[in-house]
């Protein structure tokens, strides 16, 4: 399998090159040259198989030039072996006659990002074993991505990992989940600035030719194709468990950067018959407005009770746009250039119609989010986190607007990660899982740095040179 850029001006790359590149040289995102399509019989044969077996079948065609079958199987076992219930890592909870919740918070940091990040770390390690090279993993985080990355990457021999979070602007739980990961090659940077400042520093690093080459700089956010691929697995696994391919199953996805939603679309591309899905947003409703008007127009980000979705630029939407516009890279490039210049781009009515056939979009206010947590708890006894609640409220809006058939709402984080909002809504304390309790009590290590590119760059350069840094 080869990979091409959504903007058409970057070289076609192999899987391993795409993993290390992250973003394409032309600013685009990599997608597979074509999607492997499974027949209905092949999907049927996967039904009843374990999560690891489904993961193997789905990922194999995308990575088989990099990893032989035995290696891939071992990587999958290692990636998901540390989940809290290895025999049932994505539980489906029925909450209505045709309504389910898919729990994706049974990994080490209690949010769905573990499902992809644990696998990405295995992929990095596997590729480093084949070819020794320096690897410097850098990420900016507003919370969940950073902790998932640190927990996944702490075992990678020969990598240096730097995660930047905005000092004093992440929740105590999120901070401790990061700063209690202590190892010589793990570096938590608390930047004296905002999340956008953290992202700006990371972006500037990627423009630094020396850092890119000599340090082997790479990114762990969902622009990396290897973050999307493992997410395709749980859509297939859940749909099969509910009777697909004979039964049509749809998903509601709490959405920020659109990575999770795009993975759902990939499952469809691979021949899995899914119903029209629901893109759920909070008050940062750029996607809902886009689905109404065909105009993507960013506004200032507003803080909400579902902070992991507080975003105005959904990077992975570019992949969706590329596919839905029949892979017209020139058109995507023009739209993205326009968006960068004016904060705005539009699609034609044919494209908008095609997108609407794939998904609906709903947005949910903070009050509705809290109400839904409380209503769900009263009606079903199920306690959900605010992001999951945004999805459940959207799924309910979809039903009320005439949606029929099986609907699975994704539960993207454990309620204890956002305990104050949940407790405020239900009036009851949220039990804290043992894994989180350990992080809350463990010692912390963090480096507070000035919001200054030079300061951060010097820090990383020095840390890489220090004797404790493992060298490759």
Q: Is 258 in the site for ligand PLP (CB under 6 A)?
A: yes
Catalytic residue chosen out of the listed positions 113, 176, 333, 417: 113
For the bound state, the minimum distance from the C-beta of residue 369 to ligand PLP, rounded and expressed in Å, comes to 12
Binding piece for ligand PLP, criterion CB under 6 A, among 43-51, 207-215, 252-260, 286-294? 252-260
Q: Is 111 in the site for ligand PLP (CB under 6 A)?
A: yes
Residue 321 makes CB contacts below 8 A (sequence gap 6+) with 6, 332, 335, 347, 351
Residue from the set 120, 309, 425, 439 that interacts with ligand PLP by CB under 6 A: 309
Q: Is 113 in the site for ligand PLP (CB under 6 A)?
A: yes
Strands 159-166 and 186-191: parallel
Distance CA 223, CA 336 (A): 15
Peptide bond into 245 cis (omega under 30): yes
Please choose, from the candidates 265, 272, 213, 212, the residue with its C-alpha nearest in 3D space to the C-alpha of residue 240: 272
Rule CB under 6 A: which of 129-168 touch ligand PLP?
144
Is 340 one of the annotated active-site residues of the chain? no
Q: Is 368 in the site for ligand PLP (CB under 6 A)?
A: no
For the bound state, the minimum distance from the C-beta of residue 262 to ligand PLP, rounded and expressed in Å, comes to 8
Distance CA 409, CA 415 (A): 15
Rule CB under 6 A: which of 369-398 touch ligand PLP?
387
Please choose, from the candidates 36, 22, 9, 23, the residue with its C-alpha nearest in 3D space to the C-alpha of residue 332: 9
* Cβ atoms of 367 and 61 closer than 8 Å: no
For the bound state, the minimum distance from the C-beta of residue 78 to ligand PLP, rounded and expressed in Å, comes to 23
Tell me, what DSSP letter sits at residue 92?
A: E
Report residue 328: phi and psi, to 5°. -85, 95
Rule CB under 6 A: which of 203-222 touch ligand PLP?
222
For the bound state, the minimum distance from the C-beta of residue 441 to ligand PLP, rounded and expressed in Å, comes to 23
Distance CA 3, CA 440 (A): 41
Distance CA 37, CA 35 (A): 6
Q: Is 363 in the site for ligand PLP (CB under 6 A)?
A: no
Q: Give the distance, in angstroms, between the CA of residue 143 and the centroid of all CA atoms in the same chain.
A: 12
Binding piece for ligand PLP, criterion CB under 6 A, among 180-188, 250-258, 429-437, 452-460? 250-258
For the bound state, the minimum distance from the C-beta of residue 142 to ligand PLP, rounded and expressed in Å, comes to 9
* Cβ atoms of 66 and 267 closer than 8 Å: no
Binding flags for ligand PLP, 230-249, as an x/- string (CB under 6 A): --------------------
Binding piece for ligand PLP, criterion CB under 6 A, among 160-168, 257-265, 369-377, 419-427? 257-265
Cα angle, residue 232 at apex, residues 231 and 234 outer, rounded to 5° = 75
For the bound state, the minimum distance from the C-beta of residue 354 to ligand PLP, rounded and expressed in Å, comes to 20
* Cβ atoms of 206 and 212 closer than 8 Å: yes
Pick 125 or 323: Cβ nearer ligand PLP: 323
Please choose, from the candidates 279, 261, 305, the residue with its C-alpha nearest in 3D space to the C-alpha of residue 417: 305
* Cβ atoms of 84 and 435 closer than 8 Å: yes
For the bound state, the minimum distance from the C-beta of residue 410 to ligand PLP, rounded and expressed in Å, comes to 8
Pick 90 or 260: Cβ nearer ligand PLP: 260
Residue from the set 138, 413, 430, 449 that interacts with ligand PLP by CB under 6 A: 413
Residue from the set 278, 361, 412, 460 that interacts with ligand PLP by CB under 6 A: 412
The residues carrying an active-site annotation are: 113
Which positions lie near ligand PLP, rule CB under 6 A? Answer: 111, 113, 144, 222, 254-261, 308-309, 387, 412-413
């Amino acid at each position: 399998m080869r990979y091409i850029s959504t903007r058409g001006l970057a070289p076609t790359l192999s899987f391993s090159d795409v993993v290390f590149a992250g973003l394409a040289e032309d600013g685009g995102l990599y997608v597979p040259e074509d999607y492997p399509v499974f027949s209905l019989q092949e999907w049927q044969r996967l039904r009843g198989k374990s999560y690891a077996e489904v993961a193997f079948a789905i990922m194999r065609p995308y990575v088989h030039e990099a990893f032989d079958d035995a290696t891939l199987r071992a990587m999958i076992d290692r990636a998901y072996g540390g989940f809290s219930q290895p025999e049932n890592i994505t539980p489906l909870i029925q909450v209505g006659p045709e309504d389910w919740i898919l729990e994706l918070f049974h990994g080490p940091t209690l949010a769905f990002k573990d499902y992809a990040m644990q696998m990405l770390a295995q992929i990095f390690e596997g590729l480093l074993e084949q070819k020794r090279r320096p690897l410097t993993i850098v990420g900016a985080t507003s919370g969940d991505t950073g902790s998932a990355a640190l927990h996944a990457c702490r075992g990678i021999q020969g990598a240096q990992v730097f995660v930047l979070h905005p000092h004093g602007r992440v929740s105590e739980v999120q901070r401790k989940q990061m700063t209690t990961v202590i190892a010589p090659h793990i570096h938590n940077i608390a930047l004296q600035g905002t999340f956008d400042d953290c992202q700006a520093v990371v972006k500037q690093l990627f423009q630094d030719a020396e850092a890119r080459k000599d340090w082997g700089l790479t990114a762990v956010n969902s622009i990396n194709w290897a973050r999307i691929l493992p997410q395709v697995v749980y859509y297939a696994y859940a749909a099969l468990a509910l009777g697909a391919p004979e039964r049509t199953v749809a998903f509601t996805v709490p959405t920020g950067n659109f990575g999770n939603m795009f993975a759902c679309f990939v499952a469809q591309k691979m021949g899995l018959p899914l119903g029209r899905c629901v893109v759920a947003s909070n008050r940062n409703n750029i996607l809902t407005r886009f689905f109404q008007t065909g105009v993507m127009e960013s506004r200032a980000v507003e803080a909400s009770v579902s902070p992991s979705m507080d975003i105005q630029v959904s990077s992975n939407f570019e992949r969706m746009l590329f596919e839905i516009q029949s892979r017209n890279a020139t058109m995507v490039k023009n739209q993205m250039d326009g968006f960068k210049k004016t904060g705005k781009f539009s699609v034609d009515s044919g494209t908008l119609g095609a997108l609407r056939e794939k998904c609906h979009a709903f947005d949910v206010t903070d009050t509705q989010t809290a109400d839904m947590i409380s209503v769900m708890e009263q009606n079903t006894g199920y306690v959900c986190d605010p992001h999951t609640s945004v999805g459940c409220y959207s799924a309910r809006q979809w039903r009320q607007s005439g949606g029929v058939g099986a609907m699975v709402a994704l539960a993207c984080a454990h309620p204890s990660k956002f305990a104050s909002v949940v407790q405020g809504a239900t009036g009851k304390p949220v039990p804290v899982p043992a894994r989180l309790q350990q992080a809350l009590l463990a010692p912390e290590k963090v480096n507070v740095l000035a919001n200054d590119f030079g300061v951060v760059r010097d820090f990383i350069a020095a840390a890489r040179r220090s004797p404790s840094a493992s060298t490759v």
